[in-house]
């Protein structure tokens, strides 16, 4: 079961060539077992607002279509996830990534991300190949 980092989620929907071949294959193999943290919606909306990400439609429409098209389960940010993200070692200061890491740990998911810092967390599995 896979947890897509925000960039992997966006690229899956808009530019799959940005994803490494092996990651694309694993995503395809795990169809129906794909997840994304709800915090990615906030990250995407902020990137669009700051003109760092261009989407063909509004952020909420893009997210909804991508979830439906790829059968991705959106995992809400719960109190347990929030508290674990705060308790993680200070390897990564990005709150979006810390929430994603906590989500993966609690749900026992493998993260699809190009961010090498994530793999520095103990007992966290990251693929990007």
DSSP string, 33-84: -EEEETHHHHHHHHHHHTTS---SS-HHHHHHHHHHHHTPEEEP--HHHHHH
How far is Cα 15 from Cα 12, in angstroms, rounded to an integer? 6
Cα radius of gyration (the chain): 14
CA dihedral 111, 79, 72, 54 (to 10 degrees): -80
Q: Identify which has the larger pLDDT, 78 or 18.
A: 78
Model pTM?
Answer: 0.95
Model confidence band, residue 17 (pLDDT cutoffs 50, 70, 90): confident
Q: Where along the chain do its domains lie?
A: 2-127
User: What tens digit of pLDDT does each residue of 64-117 get?
Assistant: 999 999 999 999 999 999 999 999 999 988 999 999 999 999 999 999 999 999
The CA distance from 32 to 71, in Å, is 6
Let me know the angle formed at the C-alpha of 59 by 54 and 61, rounded to the nearest 5 degrees: 125
Q: Which two tokens stand for residue 7?
A: 């960039």
Q: Give the neighbor-by-neighbor strand order of the sheet with 2-4.
A: 73-75, 34-37, 2-4, 110-112, 126-127
Fold of 2-127: Rossmann fold (3.40.50)
């Amino acid at each position: 079961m896979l947890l897509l980092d925000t960039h992997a989620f966006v690229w899956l929907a808009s530019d799959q060539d940005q994803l490494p071949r092996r990651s694309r294959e694993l995503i395809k193999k795990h169809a129906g077992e794909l997840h994304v943290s709800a915090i990615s919606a906030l990250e995407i909306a902020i990137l669009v607002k700051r003109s760092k990400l261009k989407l063909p439609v509004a952020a909420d429409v893009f997210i909804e279509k991508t979830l439906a098209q790829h059968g991705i389960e959106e995992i809400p940010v719960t109190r347990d996830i929030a508290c674990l993200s705060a308790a993680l070692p200070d390897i990564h200061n990005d709150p979006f990534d810390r929430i994603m890491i906590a989500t993966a740990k609690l749900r026992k998911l493998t993260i699809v991300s190009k961010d090498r810092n994530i793999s520095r967390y103990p007992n966290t599995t990251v693929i990007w190949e």
